[in-house]
Amino acid sequence: MASFFSSKFLVNIRLRYVIIITLLLASILFLIAFFGIQKSKSNMLKVMEKEGTALLESLILSSQNTIRANALVEEIVGERLLNIAYLVDRMEKQDKIDNSKLQEIAERSNLLRIDIFDEQMNLIYSSDPQDKEIYEDTTTLVIPVLHSILGGEKKESIFGIEAKALLAEKSYAAAIERSKEKGAVVVVTSAAYMESFKKEIGIGYLIQKISQESGVEYIVLQSREGIVLASKKVEKMLKIEEDPFLQEALSKNQAKSRITPFEGGDVLEVVKPFMSKEIPSGIFRIGLSLEDYKKVASSYQRQIMLFSCVLFVLGLLIIGIVIVNQNYFVLDRSYKEIKTLTGNVLEAMHSAVVAVDKNGKIIMFNRLAEDIFSINKENAVNHDYDVVFPNDDCLLKQTLEKKRTTKEVEREFRTFSGEDKFLIIGTSCLFDEEKEFNGAVSVIHDITELKKYEEEAKRAERLSALGNLAAGVAHEIRNPLNAISITAQRLKSEFVPQKDKEEYISFIKTILDEIKRLDNIINQFLSLAKTQKLNLVPTDVGKLLNEVADLVELEAKEKNIQVTREFARLPETKIDPNELKKALLNIMLNGIQATPSGGTLSARAYLDDSQRNIFIEIRDSGVGISKENLSKIFQPYFSTKEKGTGLGLSIAYRIISDHKGRIEVESELRKGTVFIVSLPI
C-alpha cells in the first residue's frame, strides 16, 4: 500500500514537472511567436514606407518636369504665333496683304483667324471678315489687349481667350503693334493641341494614372487652402491646420509616414512637402493599402501557430530555427510584393527613372529608361553606374559625390545606335529612416520631339524671311542683267573688230554664257522664295517615280553608277506632278553627285501600315554627310560641292512642305545617305 502511494506520488510529481515544462515551453514558444509576428509587421511597414517615399520622390520630380514641359509648350506656341503676326505685318507694309491672302496664311498655318485693325479698332483686313463675334463680346480678353497695344502700353501680347459657350472651343492668341500705321495685328489659333498635351503629361494625369495601380488607395496634393489635386477616390480630407502630423512634416520639410483610417479601413500614409511657383505649394500624401499586409500577417500568424504545435514536440531549438526561417520567408515575400507594386508604378510613368545605392550600384532601371538609353535592364541593374554610364549621363555620380539634388538640367545624349536625344534630368538624394544618405534617384524626360518641332519652326521662319528678301533682290538683279545681255548681243552682231576677231567673239560668248548661268541661278532663287500655288491633280505616283528614275539614269551611266528601283503598287494621289518631280529630281541628282564611280543609287516607294501615307526612300552609297553638316543641308546656299548653289535641297524641302509632307535624312560618313519623303494620300 505504501509502495502504491509512493508510485502515485512520483507519477504526480512527474506529471507536475511535465505540466511545468509544457507550460514553460508553451510560454517560450508563445513569446517567440508573438515577438516574431510583431517584428515581421514592423519590417514590412518599414519596407512599405521606403517604397512609398521613393514613389513620392519620383512623383515630385516628374511633377516638376511636367510643369517645365507645359511652360515650354506655351512658349513654343506663343513664339510661333508672334512670328506669324510679324510676318503678316511685314507683308502688309509691302502692300501684299488682302483678305484672301490672310485666309491662305491662316489655312496653311492651321490658324482660326488673322485680323488687322486700325487705331480706331476698325477691322481693315481679316481671314474671316464675316465672323466678328469675338471682337463684339466685351467679356473676352481681346478688347482690353487691343486697347493696351493701341495705347502704346505694349508692343506685343500673348493671351488666352476663354470659350463663351459651353461647347465652344478655347482659343490662344497673339497681338502686335502695326508698323505701317497705327493699329494692331491679331493671330488666333485653337488651344486644343496645347490643352491635350498638358492633359497627357499633367500632374493630374500622373496622379490619376498612378492611383489606378493595385495597392495605391489615394494620392493627394494638398495646400493650406485645401485639396489642389487628388485621385478619384478622394472626396474630402482633414485640413492641414487641423492635423498636427501634417503640420510637423511641413515645418520640418521631410517625409513622414503613419497608419491612418480611410473609408472604413486603415492605410499606410506617406507624406512629403512639395514646393512650386506654378501651382500652390503644399504636401503630397499617398495612401498605400494595408490589405495585402494584413493578409500576409494573418497568414503568417496561422502558420506560426501550426508550426508551434510541431515545434513544441520537437523542442525549442527546432522551434527557433523554424520561426527564423518562416520570418525570413514572409519578409521576403512581402518585400517582393511591395517591390512588384512599386515596379509596376515606375513602369507606368512617362519619365525614365534610374536609381543607385550609396555605393554607386544601379538598383532601379524602368522600361522608359531602356528605351531612352538603348540599354537592357539586365545590363544595368546590379551593375556599377560608372561602367554603364561612364560620362555620368544621369547626373547620379555628382549627386552621390555632393549629396545634393540637381534640378531640371538639359543634356544631349547619344545612344549606342548613334541616335541623338535631348533630355531634361533631375536628381534627388535618398535617405533611410535614420536620415542616413542611402543613394540617389534620377528622373529623365525625353524632349527630343519637342526639339525637332522647335527646329522645324525655326527653319520655316528662316525660309519665310528669305522669301521676302529673294523677291526684291531677284528683281533688282534682273534689270541690269537684261541690259548687259542686250548690250553683249549688240556687240556680237553690230561691232566686229578687224583684229583678234576670234578672241573678241570668244569673250562675247563667255559673257552671254555667264549671263545665262546667272539667270538660271535667279530662277532657282525665285523658285525657293515664292510660295507656289500647287496644281493638285490625281496622279499615278509610281509612274511619276519611274519617269524621274529614267531621267536620272542618263547621268548615272556617265559616272558608272547603278540605279535600282522598287516601287510598290501605289494609289492615285492629288499632287502637283511638275513640282514633285522637280523635288525628287533634285534629291536623286544630289545622290548621284555624291556617289563615286561604281556605286549605287536605289529608290524605293511603299505605303505605311495605316495606308494613309506614301513613303519614298532614296539611298546612295556616297561619301555621306558629317553630323555638323546634317542639320544645315536644307538651308539655302549651304553646299559642300565645289560648284553647288546650295538651292536644290532647299527647293525640295519647300515643295515637300507645300504638299503637307515631311522629308528626313539619315547619313553616316563613308557609308552613304538616305532621304525619306512622306506624302499624305
Note the pLDDT tens digit of each residue in 423-468. 888 888 888 878 888 898 888 888 777 777 766 666 666 666 666 6
Q: Which residues contact 267 (CB under 8 A, 6 or more apart)?
A: 217, 218, 259, 260, 261, 287, 288, 289, 290
pLDDT for residue 9: 45
Mean predicted lDDT score pLDDT of the chain? 77
- Start and end residues for every CATH 3.30.450.20 domain found in the chain: 97-197, 351-446
With 80 as the cut, is the pLDDT of residue 122 above it?
A: yes
Residue 200 confidence (pLDDT) above 60 = no
Options 2.30.38.10, 3.10.50.40, 3.40.640.10, 3.30.450.20; CATH of 351-446: 3.30.450.20
**What does R_g of the chain's alpha carbons equal in angstroms?**
37
Q: State which amino acid sits at residue 654.
A: R
Question: Looking at residues 182-208, what average pLDDT do you find?
Answer: 69
pLDDT of res. 676: 92
In contact, 211 and 234? CB cutoff 8 Å: no
- Per-residue pLDDT band at 194 (split at 50, 70, 90): low
**pLDDT score recorded for residue 349:** 66
Q: Residues spanned by CATH 1.10.287 within the chain?
A: 452-529
DSSP state of 167: T
Identify the pLDDT of residue 617.
93
Judge whether residue 351 has pLDDT over 70.
Answer: yes
State residue 278's pLDDT score.
64
Question: SS3 for 602-649, per residue?
Answer: EEEEEECCCCCEEEEEEEECCCCCCHHHHCCCCCCCCCCCCCCCCCHH
**Residue given cell 544631349 in the structure block:** 412
User: Span 369-397, mean pLDDT?
Assistant: 85
Question: Cβ–Cβ contacts within 10 Å for residue 568, how many?
Answer: 11
Show the 3-state SS of 43-88: HHHHHHHHHHHHHHHHHHHHHHHHHHHHHHHHHHHHHHHHHHHHHH
What is the rounded CA–CA span in Å between residue 553 and residue 562? Answer: 8
CATH fold label, 452-529: Helix Hairpins (1.10.287)
Residue 91's Cβ-count burial label (10 Å; 0-12, 13-18, 19+) is middle
Sequence ranges of the chain with CATH classification 3.30.565.10: 537-680
Q: How far apart are CA 430 and CA 418, in angstroms?
A: 33
Specify the fold of 537-680.
Answer: Heat Shock Protein 90 (3.30.565)
CATH topology of domain 97-197: Beta-Lactamase (3.30.450)
The model's confidence at residue 372, banded by pLDDT at 50, 70 and 90, is confident
Which one-letter amino acid corresponds to residue 14? R
Report the residue count for the chain.
681
What residues contact 111, with CB distance under 8 A and at least 6 apart? 84, 105, 127, 187, 188, 189
How much is the average pLDDT of 352-369? Answer: 87
User: What is the pTM assigned to this prediction?
Assistant: 0.36
Of the candidates 327, 342, 332, 243, the one whose C-alpha atom is nearest the C-alpha of residue 285 is 243
